[in-house]
Chains A and B, each alone.
Chain A
Amino acid sequence: MTDCAVELRGVSKLFGDVLAVDAVDLGIDDGEFFSLLGPSGCGKTTTLRMIAGFEFPTTGSIQIHGQEMALQPPNQRPVNTVFQSYALFPHMTIEENVGFGLAMKKVPKHEAEHRVDRALDMVQLSHRKGTTPNKLSGGQQQRVALARALVNEPEVLLLDEPLGALDLKLRQQMQIELKELQERVGITFVYVTHDQEEALTMSDRIGVMSEGRLLQVGASAEIYERPRSRFVADFIGDINLIPARVLGSGEVELAGALKVAAASVEGDSVGHSLALRPEQLHLVAKEDETPTGSNTMTGTVVHRVYYGDSYAYDVDTPAGPISVRQENRPGLALHDPGEHVIVWWSPAASSLVVD
């Protein structure tokens, strides 16, 4: 697959008797912004470090643009890393930091100077090139780390939770900047994060990891709307997971012997949950207000919370507690705690996930 920038096949990493990464198969396309998403300890950073060369896989193959790299030391790989702590050399100026990789590769001084200037321009820090890192703010240091990596024109750029140390506003701003940068430069980005919102907004595709295993890979929309496992469904955003039994021919049975139509039904009849995003559920007061062909359920409102841009309801139903989100619009009918309501959703809106 020549348009694969990074390909991992059967990659595992054992630390003592802890299996940090478990038989990961992954292909990352050229020029895409790919995120590895998962909770702490899921193996995403270890996987990134194996691509970078700071760890060697216990088994498996790692190819970068078709070249086998699994056992190559990091200084012989055409990839560069932006570290979580930035790792800027405190005893060198910004200019020397950014030019370090070029100096190591013995790029002629004239050309190196030119490239460093361009890189600093790109992150808008040319005016600080003579200072040392300790005099810069966190956000500025982060941009220097970026410039230092990109100036080498790597085939793949690896980023290890680079925005973790920044405050919210700055982080959001940097997310947009990074995305734009990547589109402009066209280099493949492999981005590690535990923040699912960050992954959803920035990535072309996301790989969700948990306990060393790669659970699902797909575009943001696919991950969000079609989660294929309980973990993925639960990790990203809010979700309702209703235990379900597959009856075949597009029908499932929920707790309370409720039969509903459901799309994407596969094989086995046990161990499933019906996954529904709260915003895909609707509340109405009476049965006749529901559209034809939709699934319905009776319920009692337990709680209502106001979020400014929306309302969230906790509703008790025969199938269990459900959470519903309604966008705040003028003229929206509100329902009070204790009220009997009808919950409805479109069959196409649900997913079936394996527990």
Chain B
Amino acid sequence: MATATTTEAPQVEIGGLETAATAADRRRGALIALPAGIYLVLFFVLPFLIVIVYSFATRSATGATRLADWNLRAYEKLVDSLVVEIVWRSFWIATATTLICLVMAYPFAYYIATRRPAVRNALLVLVMIPFWSNFLVRTYAWRFILGTDGPIGTITEALGLEPVRLLFTPAAIMIGLVYGFLPFMVLPLYAAIERLDWGLVEAARDLYADGFTAFRKVTLPLTKSGIIAGSLLVFVPSFGAYVTPAILGGSKDLLLGSYIVTQFQQARNWPFGSALSIVIMLIMLAALMIRSRAAAEDV
């Protein structure tokens, strides 16, 4: 009836019976993913590549683009001091925005995450409302407030004070960027903090760490994934921001986003605009790599 024998050394062929069955499973998975995959390849990856191609094209005298006479003129223009200045300015504004968002968002998210569930829900809904509100409207609100024709302007004027130039400055742009992207920092941070095992913090306190040290050595490192996710979500769009600088920074091409748009409108230099876009794309790919590395480390 029942035998309980075991053979000697395992002599199992790798990929025996099951491969046929799991292969069918794989095919089904690929099939389900196919529509989205094809769409993205066609309407995202392909456009991505087309931009790269255009960066080597020629701009004719009339501003039209000739996809011939491939050259590196657009790239030569990239190292122009003006361009470098714009790129550098965009970079530090994006960095500053990210840091400000981080500093504002972390205590904010921490507070919400440590409330009772009922309170937490209510607080989160209050964050959701600005998050889902129209980006343009939120940016316009600052245009309205900061402008000399807005409430602050009219008040200072009425008080007989010097008109304060708040609008159309880098500071205005940063306020706008922080305002626009703060929810993108709050949400991943909140998710990471909410997932934290508080028992670990208690263990640290038990082992003589004071509140701040426990935070620094336990809470902060363990919420690293949220910090990275939020930072990427704020930095990259800020780096290439257009709407906010356009509304709050005036028509000057201070930042990369505006400068690129100019290439496709007034300046009509598509190859150069493409080359500039590639700078942004490189930042995007760097972000993708950072995210993969972070995800791989996370257990």
Contacts and interface: CB of A to CB of B under 8 A. Distances in A.
Given A56-B18, A70-B17, A217 B10 contact: no
Interface in B179-202: none
A284 interface: no
Contact of B12 (A25, A29, A58): A58
B18 A57 contact: yes
Given A14-B14, A58-B16, A59-B16, A26 B21 contact: no
A56 B22 CA distance: 8
A71 interface: yes
Interface stretch (A177-185, A208-216, A324-332): A208-216
B15 to A, nearest CB: 8
A65 interface: no
A10 B4 CA distance: 11
A28 B6 CA distance: 17
A204 to B, nearest CB: 11
Contacts of A122: none
Interface string A44-61: 000000000001111110
Nearest to B6: A213
Given A56-B17, A57-B18, A29 B6 contact: no
A59 B12 contact: yes
Interface residues of A, number: 30
Contacts of A25: 3-5
Contacts of B285: none
B1 A22 contact: no
A19 B4 contact: no
A59 B14 CA distance: 9
Most interface-central of A12, A19, A28 (chain B CB within 10 A): A12
Size range of the interface on B? 10 to 19
Contact of B2 (A26, A56, A215): A26
Contacts of B10: 12, 19, 22-23
B17 A58 contact: yes
A71 B20 contact: yes
Interface in A25-39: 25-29
A12 B14 CA distance: 11
Nearest to B4: A217
A267 B112 CA distance: 72
B7 interface: yes
B206 interface: no
B16 A27 contact: no
Nearest to B8: A23
B40 to A, nearest CB: 30
Q: Is the interface of B mostly helix, strand, loop or mixed?
A: loop
Contacts of A58: 12-18
A55 B22 CA distance: 9
Contacts of A205: 2
Most interface-central of B4, B14, B17, B18 (chain A CB within 10 A): B4
B12 A14 contact: yes
B4 A23 contact: no
Interface string B16-32: 11101110000000000
Contacts of B18: 55-58, 71
A28 B5 CA distance: 15
A99 interface: no
Given A19-B12, A27-B1, A59-B12, A214 B6 contact: yes
B24 to A, nearest CB: 10
A27 B2 contact: yes
Contacts of A26: 2-4
A235 to B, nearest CB: 14
A24 B15 CA distance: 18
Contacts of A14: 12, 14, 16
A71 to B, nearest CB: 6
A70 B1 CA distance: 20
Contacts of B1: 1, 4, 27, 29
Contacts of B20: 71
Contacts of B17: 56-60, 70-71
A4 B5 CA distance: 18
Nearest to B21: A56
A178 B16 CA distance: 37
B4 A22 contact: no
A162 interface: no
A1 B1 CA distance: 8
Contacts of A29: 1-2
A10 B20 CA distance: 19
Contacts of B4: 25-26, 207, 214-217
B270 to A, nearest CB: 50
A59 B22 contact: no
A29 B2 CA distance: 9
B6 A22 contact: yes
A193 B2 CA distance: 20
Contacts of B22: 56
A213 B5 CA distance: 9
A56 B17 CA distance: 8
B195 to A, nearest CB: 21
B5 A12 contact: no
Given A19-B10, A57-B18, A58-B18, 10 more contacts: A12-B12, A14-B16, A25-B4, A25-B5, A26-B2, A26-B3, A27-B1, A29-B2, A58-B13, A71-B18
30 contacts: A12-B16, A14-B16, A22-B6, A22-B10, A23-B10, A25-B4, A25-B5, A26-B3, A26-B4, A27-B1, A28-B2, A55-B18, A56-B22, A57-B16, A57-B18, A58-B12, A58-B15, A58-B17, A58-B18, A59-B12, A59-B16, A60-B17, A71-B18, A71-B21, A205-B2, A207-B2, A213-B6, A214-B6, A215-B4, A217-B3
Interface of A: 1, 4, 10, 12, 14, 19, 22-29, 55-60, 70-71, 205, 207, 213-218
Interface of B: 1-7, 10, 12-18, 20-22
**Across the A-B interface, the 5 shortest Cβ-Cβ residue pairs:** A56-B18, A59-B16, A58-B16, A217-B4, A217-B2
